[in-house]
Chain A
């Protein structure tokens, strides 16, 4: 154990830098950045609590929040809007952390729960399970989500072990897999005349958040995030090639297995409560690395705050853009994320 810690410390002292260039010199101090992101997250969350289809005033919202009574406003704030914000926070944190882990594990900057088909696998498994067992809902969708995420995760993990596959090819394989999964979801839905019913969930949405969904995802978020941060240094070593990692005392297989399990738990539980929301797990790790560098634990901790900030802000945008109707948050993250995908590919074109 102490050997590993020494290895990790050495690693921290001389961080591995896959993307050379300007970003390495412009790193901000992580503590300040963390505080700033938390402040922005708080602002976005309060904004999200103030806005909704019922459309009462900011003053009414604040009073309902801090002086709850038996009014409709109180019921809406505490039973609809607050669980929605918290769900967005947890899903955002889950996806961002899963994104950091999967990018590290596969040493692939284009990896994310979405681009590697993990979300798609979970979604397909849930759709099949819900149609096979019509009463299935709420917390019970977590089980098929884990199974679907795990199967796809396994496929991608095996592919990533092959040295013959370049990161770009692996990412393409993942995206192809995701397209196949999306087509299979469509096929299952069309065959069962359920396509219109589930289209909002498939886009990724927290519109129908309730406390029950928060309680469903919370234990997985807590365990997944705490373990990811506690093991951050070890996961960081996975970014090195296997032999270097081993020379630093790393048991690559065991660490990789743990990281894979965390990815499945974090992404699978997110899909179970909010549908397959894309781009959060891809964008957030890149933005964070650009700001603070590559140190794994720092990236993880900042992603835990930045993922929720992105999702809560995107959800607020989704509420405002077609008020009083709403756009599912997954559509907003896709609109924001698609342009972000291109520079990431461009920056990694020579690697």
Chain B
């Protein structure tokens, strides 16, 4: 609500802003001669200077910026600021620009950004409009693998003029992940992340973010596929895949996970019989898809599944 009011206020003051920005930006542009061409999913974007007013249209971009010590001015936060707080483990000051699925272009332009970071799947269709507002880079977050997410951190760092820092962040992360991987005992357990919604299941495959994290720490994914998610499935498909370890991602409130507990077909699944079913937070396991949650998932696997602290 506050975001809405302030956005309206800013829109009303927009002519005044424009003048202010014009007069201010002249010396800045003269100072910053540094021009970089960033290659991204939908082409190349030229960025001059060091952007400071950044709009992030996916959660993983917010975390990437946070790891580079930057607070975005605008975030497509699904109008749920608590998700950003959960994502970063702290509260930051920003303006909401609506949902990730349909970010509000007016709210974005009111923020006068100098860089927009968008997701290929969700925002590829509005790339032109976003580019008209500010230089825009399009990365793969929604169905990106772990490698895509790591690469995105470096690309974002490059876009804000500090590529070395991005590489450092990824290197530090790689070291922590390698340490976790080294502690994981040799095993041939087949892992799967399944999102439980109110009425059905979405199964995350080897091509998903969680699938590629399993691969990175040296455990198998139960469902090999080229598409990241198999959605709208029933219990029978879960039984057919028969994972040995099942991470069930849920939102608060009732899901189908509660409804299947007494079902003998559910009880026939290897993970259920071995006591290796873990209910996990859907935001952290399926929505955020960033380096921080990659470490969280890897640590969870280590401590919960293999009981290694």
Report A's interface with B, CB cutoff 8 A. 52-55, 72, 75-76, 78-81, 84, 130, 134-138, 190, 193, 195-201, 205, 207-210, 212, 324-326, 328
Query: Across the interface, do A135 and B253 meet the contact criterion of CB distance under 8 Å?
Result: yes
Check A137–B265 contact: CB distance below 8 A.
no
Q: What residues of A have a CB within 8 angstroms of the CB of B52 in the complex?
A: none
**Closest approach, in angstroms, between the C-beta of B202 and any C-beta of chain A?**
9
Determine how close the nearest CB of chain A comes to the CB of B270; give it in whole angstroms. Answer: 10
B265 smallest CB distance to A (angstroms): 4
How long is the Cα–Cα vector from A78 to B79 in the complex, in angstroms?
43
B12 within 8 A of A: no
B235 contacts chain A at the CB level, 8 A cutoff: yes
**A207 in contact with B232 given A137-B198, A193-B80, A198-B197 (CB within 8 Å):** yes
Cα(A328)–Cα(B99), bound, Å: 27
Of B99, B200, B237, B268, the residue contacting A53 (CB under 8 A) is B237
Say whether A208 contacts B254, CB under 8 Å.
no
Give the complex CA separation of A137 and B199 in angstroms.
9
What are 28 sample pairs from A and B whose C-beta atoms fall under 8 A apart? A53-B237, A54-B236, A54-B240, A55-B240, A72-B268, A75-B263, A75-B264, A76-B236, A76-B239, A76-B268, A79-B264, A79-B265, A80-B235, A84-B234, A130-B198, A134-B254, A135-B253, A190-B99, A197-B198, A200-B231, A200-B232, A201-B198, A201-B199, A205-B232, A210-B235, A210-B263, A324-B237, A326-B233
B296 at interface (Cβ–Cβ under 8 A)? no
B256 in the interface, Cβ–Cβ < 8 Å? yes
- How far, in angstroms, from A76 to B269 measured CA to CA in the complex? 11
Task: Kindly identify, within residues 32 to 85 of chain B, every residue whose CB is under 8 Å from any CB belonging to chain A.
Answer: 78-80
A133–B296 alpha-carbon span in the complex (Å)? 30
Select A135's contact among B237, B240, B254, beta carbons within 8 Å: B254
Closest to B195 in A: A197
Chain B residues positioned under 8 Å from A134 (CB to CB): 251-254
Given contacts A54-B236, A193-B80, A324-B240, whether A75 and B258 have CB atoms under 8 Å apart is: no
How many residues in B have their beta carbons less than 8 Å from beta carbons of A? 35
Is the beta-carbon distance between B235 and A208 smaller than 8 angstroms?
yes
The 4 closest A-B pairs by CB, nearest first: A134-B253, A54-B240, A197-B197, A207-B234
Which partner residue on chain B sits nearest A55 by CB separation? B240
Taking the complex as formed, is B308 at the interface, i.e. its CB lies under 8 A from any CB of chain A? no
Interface contact B259-A80, CB-CB below 8 Å = no
A198 x B198 contact (CB < 8 A): yes
Quick check: is B101 within 8 A (CB to CB) of the other chain? Answer: yes
Known A-B contacts A137-B259, A212-B259, A324-B240; the reply to A80 vs B234 at CB < 8 A is: yes
Is B230 positioned at the interface, with any CB of A under 8 Å from its CB?
A: yes
Which residue of B101, B236, B251, B260 contacts A52 across the interface (Cβ within 8 Å)?
A: B236
Report the Cα distance A328→B252, complex, angstroms. Answer: 26
In the complex, what residue of chain A is closest to B256 when comparing beta carbons? A208
Report A312 CB to chain B, min CB distance, Å.
16
Interface contact B236-A137, CB-CB below 8 Å:
no
Q: Are B259 and A210 in contact (CB under 8 A)?
A: yes
Number of A-B contacts (CB under 8 A): 104
Closest B residue to A201 using CB positions: B199
B119 to A: closest C-beta gap in Å? 15
From A75, A190, A198, A208, give the contact of B234 (CB < 8 A): A208
- A159 vs B197: C-alpha distance when bound (angstroms): 38
Whole-angstrom CA separation of A55 from B230 in the bound complex: 17
Please name all residues of chain B whose beta carbon is closer than 8 Å to the beta carbon of A135 when the two chains form the complex.
253-254
A-facing residues in B222-254 (Cβ within 8 Å) = 230-237, 239-240, 251-254
Question: In the complex, which residues of chain A have a beta carbon less than 8 angstroms from the beta carbon of B25?
Answer: none
- A53-B254 contact in complex given A80-B263, A198-B199, A210-B260, C-beta closer than 8 Å: no
- Is B267 on the interface with A (CB-CB < 8 A)? yes
The answer to whether B254 and A79 touch across the interface, beta carbons within 8 angstroms, is no
Contact B259 A201 (CB under 8 A): no
Most buried by A among B252, B258, B265: B265
A215 → B minimal CB distance (Å): 13
Q: Using Cβ atoms and an 8 Å threshold, which residues of chain A touch B263?
A: 75, 79-80, 210
Task: Note all chain A residues with C-beta closer than 8 A to B267.
Answer: 75
CA distance A212 to B262 in the complex (A): 10
Q: Which single residue of chain A is at the shortest CB-CB distance from B253?
A: A134
Complex: A193 Cα to B80 Cα, angstroms = 10
State the CA gap A136–B259 with chains docked (Å). 11
Q: Which residues of B contact A209 (CB under 8 A)?
A: 234
Whole-angstrom CA separation of A137 from B265 in the bound complex: 20
Do A81 and B198 touch across chains, with their CB atoms under 8 A apart?
Answer: no
A190 CA / B231 CA spacing, docked (Å): 19
Chain A residues, Cβ within 8 Å of B259: 137-138, 208, 210, 212
Contacts known (A137-B254, A193-B78, A193-B80); A53 close to B198, Cβ less than 8 A: no
- Expressed in whole angstroms, the minimum distance between the Cβ of B228 and any Cβ of chain A is 14
> Known pairs A79-B263, A209-B234, A212-B259. 12 more at Cβ < 8 A?
A52-B240, A54-B236, A75-B264, A76-B239, A80-B263, A80-B265, A134-B253, A137-B255, A137-B259, A197-B197, A198-B197, A210-B263
**Cβ–Cβ contact B99 & A193, under 8 A:** yes
Residues of B within 8 A of A210 (CB): 235, 259-260, 263
Q: Is the CB of B197 within 8 A of A328?
A: no
B253 — which chain A residues lie within 8 A by C-beta? 134-135
- List of A residues within 8 angstroms of B256 by Cβ: 208
Q: Which residues of A contact B80 (CB under 8 A)?
A: 193
- When distances are taken between beta carbons in the complex, the residues of chain A under 8 Å from B264 are 75, 78-79
> How many Å lie between the Cα of A138 and that of B268 in the bound state?
23
CB within 8 Å of A: which B161-205 residues: 197-200
